[in-house]
Amino acid sequence: MEFLPLFHKLRDSQVLVVGGGEIALRKSRLLAEAGAVLRVVAPSIDPQLADLVRGSGGQMLDRGYLSSDLDGCVLVIAATDDEPLNAQVSADARARCVPVNVVDAPALCTVIFPAIVDRSPLVVAVSSGGDAPVLARLIRAKLETWIPSTYGELAGLAARFRQKVKALYPDVTQRRAFWEEVFQGPIADRQLAGQGAEAERMLQAKVDGAPPHAPGEVYLVGAGPGDPDLLTFRALRLMQQADVVLYDRLVAPAILDLCRRDAERVYVGKRRAEHALPQDQINQQLVALAKQGKRVLRLKGGDPFIFGRGGEEIEELAAHGIPFQVVPGITAASGCAAYAGIPLTHRDYAQSVRFVTGHLKNNTSDLPWHDLVSPGQTLVFYMGLIGLPIICEQLIRHGRGADTPAALIQQGTTVNQRVFTGTLADLPRMVAEHEVHAPTLVIVGEVVVLREKLAWFDGAQYR
């Protein structure tokens, strides 16, 4: 190990920065965030850097470097493009046993700047020892997606109880077991869900010796249209901690694979005229599982509040006093249109967009057709595959031009995506000539003509 990772407390301490340009500015921003008092020396100092120096209560020296500039400093940063000067700063700092960092010159450094994930007071640092800083930044980017911002609040909660727990458990092994239970249980769940007051109440009860009330909870999570990369950070975190997963047919297998491996999985999907479980039974099952103290993930394709019956499910949960969280997902209209290269609105083509269910009951579709043929709007029909001929016929009959551009997207955002474009008059015939299966989305409006120029995603290239 070339460098030993250490965290330095710099608040109210003098730090010397030699250099006044962009690189010095980047390093100084980190130092200022840590509360350091900046002393910057350079013949020319960037105005933004000057503002940082003044904000830190430090000083600017508009001249060349002198070894006496090190006086009283606990850290030195050499950030110039003058290699001999950087080497001189490094030598002077080493002679005084002052830690020194020379940007892009690991051999001249006694300390280096890592890539940082800041969830203060929780801070994660990644370093390649100066050999591959870009790789370190890429790893940091991955960590950013895995560590929610609320982890800092969880660390802050622990800090407020640290001394109480230390007094309660003098033995370090007992304290470790206590905190492991806190960080992996319902108290952490509440804090990470933004329910800080409840988390604090539960932790206080645990410290006082009362077992925390830990009812089950339901996570109503939108899985998006199919591409796992479109999941939100919160969705992925809840997927990893749920005890039971109730999932729909529209949830892609690749997304289901991201759920906790040992979680129980219950298929409750729906096909046309074929329901694995009726909706009222799904509602009852969510309540029953939560009352058993389980963390239940209700995973839905798209967004749970857009033709997903999410409102019905949480109404039932609320009626029984079951805690729940709702995590929005990218709805099919947004995701599929984007991957098909069809903007839903455009100043020249459509000033509004309307989401409509295309599901037919008794082979009819009771929709406000007169409203749907208004000019300047894009129509998006969910579940419109079976009813496509009727949808197109009714739109034409009520005044929408037969030559209005229209598209059908199958399995949008996935490697199996297929897009069929035509007009209201010929799209049903085009689709009938191919073997098309749900899930599909139908888009009607002049914006469809933009696909020819804007299409960027070819699912085949991602296979």
Residues that are catalytic: 248, 270
pLDDT band of 463, cuts 50, 70, 90: very low
Residue-level length of the chain: 463
pLDDT band of 359, cuts 50, 70, 90: confident
Instruction: Assess whether pLDDT exceeds 70 at residue 171.
Output: yes
CA distance 46 to 79: 13
Binding positions for NAD(+): 22-23, 43-44
Binding positions for S-adenosyl-L-methionine: 225, 301-303, 306, 331-332, 383, 412
- Mean confidence (pLDDT) of the chain: 91
Instruction: Assess whether pLDDT exceeds 50 at residue 113.
Output: yes
**What is the tens place of the pLDDT at every residue in 415-430?**
999 999 999 999 999 9
The whole-number pLDDT of residue 413 equals: 95
Query: Strand ranges (DSSP E) for 11-64?
Result: 14-18, 37-41, 59-61
CA distance 448 to 213: 54
Measured in degrees and rounded to the nearest 5, phi and psi for residue 388 equal -55, -45
Higher pLDDT, 215 or 159: 159
Binding positions: 22-23, 43-44, 225, 301-303, 306, 331-332, 383, 412
Angle of CA points 164, 166, 167, to nearest 5°: 65
Instruction: Assess whether pLDDT exceeds 80 at residue 362.
Output: no
**What is the tens place of the pLDDT at every residue in 18-66?**
999 999 999 999 999 999 999 999 999 999 999 999 999 999 999 999 9
pTM, entire model: 0.69
CA distance 291 to 282: 14
**What is the tens place of the pLDDT at every residue in 296-343?**
999 999 999 999 899 999 999 999 999 999 999 999 999 999 999 999
Query: Could you tell me the CA-to-CA distances from 271 to 255, 268, 383, 400 in Å, in that order?
Result: 19, 10, 10, 30
Measured in degrees and rounded to the nearest 5, phi and psi for residue 134 equal -65, -40
How confident is the model over 175-187, as a mean pLDDT?
A: 86
CA distance 251 to 271: 13
Contact 216, 292 (CB under 8 A): yes
